[in-house]
Amino acid sequence: MDKLIMRLIRKYKTNDPFVIAEGLGIHIRYADLGEGTRGLYFKKLRRRFIVIHERLDEDWRRFVCAHELGHDRLHPGINRFWLDEQSFFDAGKFERQASKFAVRLLTAGDSPARSETLEQLLMRNGVPKEMHRFYF
């Protein structure tokens, strides 16, 4: 996963998930996804889409974009809707992998400064507090 992230950063000269998604030809849309959904990734007619809940703050938007980008890079050919309805795969595993990808992408190339805690590093990089556990 780390090698994949570093290749993306080298190619697009940034760890900004919006810039990387655009470079990969992934369309980003915003919509009201309801209470329980922050974002989703899907393919339709060979076009790839990331949809982000329109009411999220900026840090959550970045995280969700990075998370859905993780699905695109780590789980090619797997459609979440198919996964939930037609298979016995543990969807939670794919969600954990995508969250780990997002945290690593957003913190890539950064390390704690002197006297800075890991939590402060993650906050400085815009990783929502609820997602700090995916750093390891």
39-44 and 47-53 strand pairing: antiparallel
Residue 112 has pLDDT above 90, yes or no: no
Delimit the domains of the chain by residue range. 2-135
CATH 1.10.10 fits 2-135, yes or no: yes
- Burial tier of 74 (Cβ tally within 10 Å: 0-12, 13-18, 19+): middle
Quote the CA–CA distance of 36 and 101 in Å, as a whole number.
Answer: 21
pTM of structure: 0.87
* Percent of the chain whose predicted confidence (pLDDT) is above 70: 89
Residue 80 has pLDDT above 70, yes or no: no
Three-state DSSP class for residue 47? strand
Average pLDDT score over residue span 62-85: 77
Average pLDDT score over residue span 46-70: 94
